[in-house]
Amino acid sequence: MSKDNLNKLIQKKVNFTNELQSLREKIEKGGAETAVEKLVSLKQSLKELERQELEVESLSNSVLEAEVRRLEDQIENGVDSEDVPDELDRLLSESEAKIGSAKRELAAKLRAVLAVQRQIDDVPSQSELVQYECRLSELNAQIQGKLQQTRKYYATYNALLEIKEYMLKETSLLNSISSQFQEAINSTDGRMKLINSMEGIIKGSQQKLRKVQLGLHEEQKVCDALKEKYFAASAEQRHCYSLLKALQYPGNYNFLALSLSLATTTQMRNVQRMRYSEEVLLQTSPEIEVFNHRHATAYQSHAH
């Protein structure tokens, strides 16, 4: 009976080893997630087979001990001593062969288990995935902050560069007028040319002023639209907070479950819109300063 059980266990081990080999081939080809789940279940079944193997080995040892005791009793009772060593040698050789075969199978099984264990260790656990997600979120926040800061610096630099260009043009115009004023005022033709030149400068300044005011008006519209979106998102966020506060009381879960899910989805969208609005406001604020400076420059030119 013990030999049959041992043979069955050996057959199960062989089948298990073949199945592990096929799973390794499947993992190499693709479908690692389902294969890993099956490997975990196979590992549990492997532990169960090891336990059964230990039970069979203990049973075989008990059978051998009973056989040894039987032979000792035969020797004590005067049985032919020539047959006893032969039977003992036969039993010993059979036991050694079984032990050697079991050791080889156990070594092969341990190698397969170690290979499966390495594959399982390669798959990140839930806690590791959570840590990776948190770290990636932190890196994303840092990148977004640095990107927003860089955009703000570039916008400020471009605004200051444009202000510098306008100031240089204004300085060049004033120097030109100052150098030619005395020569032009002494003659009638010079005065007429100076007046015509000043009228042309005034017209050009007025055209630039209208263009700047038009651009300022467009930017103001964009700013007002972003403010409206921001206020709507703030109102939606306050509504979500009120829903969350209402959920603290028992009995309101069934009534507010759907509202909370919808509000949460809307809140996430509005938060993204709020962040985008803040970035746009930060980017457009230096440009509005440039428009104001253009407006002041145009009026200064008009006054001169």
Domain boundary (56, 89, 123) is at 123
Cβ-based burial of 30 (10 A; exposed 0-12, middle 13-18, buried ≥19)? exposed
d(CA 162, CA 156): 10
Residues 154 and 117 occupy one common structural domain: no
Instruction: Give the tens place of pLDDT for each residue, 87-144.
Output: 777 777 888 888 888 888 888 888 988 888 888 888 877 888 888 889 999 999 999 9
For residue 229, the enclosing domain spans 143-303
Query: Which amino acid type is present at position 67?
Result: E
Mutual orientation of helices 2-29 and 32-76 as an angle, nearest 10°? 160
What does the pLDDT read at residue 17?
Answer: 74
Contact 2, 82 (CB under 8 A): no
Q: How many structural domains comprise the chain?
A: 2
Domain boundary (123, 156, 178) is at 123
For the entire predicted model, the pTM comes to 0.38
Residues 22 and 74 occupy one common structural domain: yes
Residues 154 and 111 occupy one common structural domain: no
Top-confidence range, 157-161, 214-218, 293-297? 157-161
Mutual orientation of helices 188-246 and 253-303 as an angle, nearest 10°? 170
Instruction: Give the tens place of pLDDT for each residue, 47-76.
Output: 888 888 788 788 877 877 887 787 777 767
Domain boundary (62, 90, 123) is at 123
